[in-house]
Structure 1
Amino acid sequence: MSALRPDLRIIADAIPAGVRALDIGCGDGALMAELRAGKQIDARGLEIDAAAIEAAMAQGLSVVQGDANRDLADYPDDAFDYAILSQTLQTTERPDRVVGELLRIAPRAFVSFPNFAHWRVRLSLLWTGRMPVTRLLPVAWYETPNIHHVTVRDFRELLREKGIRVEGAWYLSGDKPTSAAAASWRAEHAIFLIARG
């Protein structure tokens, strides 16, 4: 097995073999390569960064250049079994619409994001009055691609409002799993498996 980021490892372990998956914001294709090799998944990718696309294509992966904010609309309904949006939700213009598009093109989706309510983020804001710089949020506020600061509670509320089911949830503190108890402040990173209501 390759060394995947912890959130990607959770997704790779949870997704069933032999399905069709679209990885939105696939980067260099690490997850797609793992899914193809380990589970014979027909994995396709959508990525905005040209260098990342080149790296993915060099591995023989099927990746197209595109923007999740606009280009998901080009995919037909139920084109895939699973959509994957890892560490990208907070960078989208309208996360609510992107989540809707994920579940239009696939009945199930994995969504992962950094939890902006983690205790270190809260403490930094409280003590310094400044936007924090952490391991998962490593750049200053003016350099970050993050335009929506989502929390575990915010995401759960969005799902509730839209009638979207949660089929699974995993939480990471550092690179290690943590329990759902108090995940809203203990988890640095959240991974959800969601499905149409």
Structure 2
Amino acid sequence: MTQKIRDKLAKRPDILVIAEIIPPNSRILDLGCGDGSLLELLRKEKNVYGSGIEFSQEKILDCVSAGVPVVHGDLNKGLREFPDKSFDYVVLSQTLQAVERPDQLLEEMMRVGKKVIVSIINIGYYTARSQIMFQGKMPVTDALPLYWYNTPNIHLGTVCDFRNLCKEKKLNIVSEIPIGEAYEKLLAGFWPNLFAPTCVFVIE
């Protein structure tokens, strides 16, 4: 049954990596949970207690249809309704770049969760760089499929940018997992800022 979920997530390897990181029976808060696929997978494979926050009414309905607990919420307003350290993991996958203040949201995630998992879109990825350098335009890639004028992304950054943000906020990156295509995996392991289109960070 979970294979169907995994097949649906084939184009989101970062979510599959996150699913592998989270241990069984954990308490999970998934921010910007979309259709709830991560939580659905974790509930079925690892018996986690999980709930999501999502802004899109359409995606909330998808969560409800899948039996995933979800509440409507705007991440730009913070996580005031959640007590300190009320979750084992707070997850944010490819959403940080779409909020108004990524730094403030990251601080709120650290307050609410014992650990935080963030996956980011890396605009330092070589195909994105080449489009900016040689074509003189904002990049359109698999991870960034929309154009500059209709994208929800307002704070794009690189792997190095995110590391620097964590350093500035005195947050400890305990694990960094660059994600690349099959032919890029080795290179992404050595130079993630250049060869990883996305990257997963575990922070505490």
Q: Distance in 1 between matches of 2:66 and 2:135?
A: 44
1:27-82 C-alpha deviation (Å, 9 max, x unpaired): 00000001101001001000000000001011111100001111412211111110
Equivalent position of 1:186 in the other structure: 195
Instruction: Write the distance in 2 (CA, Å) between the matches of 1:177 and 1:69.
Output: 34
Aligned ranges 1:121-160 → 2 under 5 Å: 121-160=128-167
2:37 corresponds to = 30
RMSD: 1.3
**Greater alpha carbon shift after TM alignment, 173-182 vs 136-145:** 173-182
Q: 1:77 aligned to 2:84?
A: yes
Judging by fraction of residues, say which structure has more helix: 2
Paired position in structure 2 for 1:40: 47
Aligned counterpart for 2:58 among listed residues 51, 55, 63: 51
Q: Which residue of 2 aligns with 1:95?
A: 102
Q: 1:191 to 1:59 in 2, by over 3 A?
A: same
SS at match of 1:98: helix
Q: Could you tell me how far apart the structure 2 residues matched to 1:177 and 1:21 are?
A: 28
Larger deviation: 65-74 or 154-163? 65-74
Task: Give the TM-score normalised by the residue count of structure 2.
Answer: 0.92
Q: What percentage of residue pairs aligned between the two structures are identical?
A: 39
TM-score, normalised with respect to structure 1: 0.95
Over 6 Å off, 4+ runs: none
Unmatched 5+ residue regions in structure 2? none
Q: Residue 108 in 1 paired to residue 125 in 2? A: no
Q: Which amino acid aligns with 1:182?
A: W
For residue 177 of structure 1, report the CA deviation from its aligned partner: 4.4
